[in-house]
């Protein structure tokens, strides 16, 4: 597995190096002090501020019943300011999905370390949908601002590294954010009416990453979501419990 991790990091580095012609991002969580040189700015950080543990850092890990997203970005590592890079370790349970989302400020390179993963995206109105099934060792990219997703097509855990060319790429998860809009906007999008059952979806949408689709669960011999035979109970329960306990 070590050589696969090396290849994943090499892929990410190559992608980020290709963006070097663009000006470095200056998006920060606090007003940036332009009176300081890069050397002066870096001196304010301790040695440990330049590392993060993507396997054991609940504060920077997003956990759902379909897997986990362990992030290295400006929010979890302030030393990344103006470096123009971020990274996510994506773990998807069998049949799990990283729901359709957008990174408004970054492109993304994805390298599959383990598993069989479907990756799809669509750009602005008029564009076509691009969908590919990737296996271990394959890589792809997502254009900045496009709606994209990843789904684990297999019956075992899938692992990916995703690299962004902005330390603060931002994430807009389409299903969750759509239902936060005013009722009138939602109704117009759905043909002019808003069924109460549809509006109620806002409170029942799954956390990201989400559990798998029914067809995949049946194919893998798992029960429906909520049963003891669902892959969530086998692959993610222990990690979920530890993470939520630390976040309280």
The rounded radius of gyration (Å) of the Cα atoms in the chain is: 19
- List the CATH number of the domain containing 7: 2.60.120.10
Span 41-50, pLDDT tens digits: 899 999 999 9
Q: Which domain holds residue 156?
A: 2-247
CA separation for the pair 61, 232 (Å, rounded): 17
Is the preceding omega at residue 88 within 30 degrees of 0, hence cis?
A: no
pLDDT band at 120 (very low <50, low <70, confident <90, very high): very high
Q: Domain total for the chain?
A: 1
Pairwise pLDDT comparison (33 vs 70), residue with the higher score: 70
Parallel, antiparallel or unpaired: strands 116-122 and 172-173: unpaired
Confidence (pLDDT) at 214: 84
Q: Could you say which DSSP state residue 210 is in?
A: B
């Amino acid at each position: 597995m070590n050589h696969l991790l090396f290849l994943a990091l090499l892929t990410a580095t190559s992608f980020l190096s290709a963006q070097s012609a663009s000006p470095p991002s200056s998006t920060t969580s606090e007003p940036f002090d332009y009176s300081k040189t890069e050397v002066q700015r870096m001196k304010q950080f301790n040695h440990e501020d330049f590392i993060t543990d993507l396997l054991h850092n609940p504060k920077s890990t997003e956990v759902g019943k379909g897997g986990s997203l362990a992030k290295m970005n400006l929010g979890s590592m302030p030393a990344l300011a103006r470096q123009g890079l971020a990274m996510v370790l994506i773990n998807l349970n069998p049949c799990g999905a990283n729901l359709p989302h957008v990174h408004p400020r970054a492109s993304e390179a994805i390298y599959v370390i383990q598993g069989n993963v479907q990756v799809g995206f669509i750009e602005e109105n008029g564009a076509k949908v691009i969908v590919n099934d990737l296996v271990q060792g394959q890589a792809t990219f997502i254009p900045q601002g496009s709606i994209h997703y990843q789904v684990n097509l297999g019956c075992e855990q899938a692992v990916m590294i995703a690299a962004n060319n902005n330390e603060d790429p931002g994430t807009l998860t389409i299903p969750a954010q759509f239902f936060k809009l005013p009722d009138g906007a939602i109704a117009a999008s759905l043909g002019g009416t808003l069924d109460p059952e549809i509006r109620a979806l806002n409170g029942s949408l799954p956390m990201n990453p989400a559990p798998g689709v029914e067809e995949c669960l049946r194919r893998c011999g798992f029960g429906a979501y909520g049963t003891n035979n669902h892959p969530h109970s086998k692959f993610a329960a222990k990690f979920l419990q530890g993470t939520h306990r630390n976040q309280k």
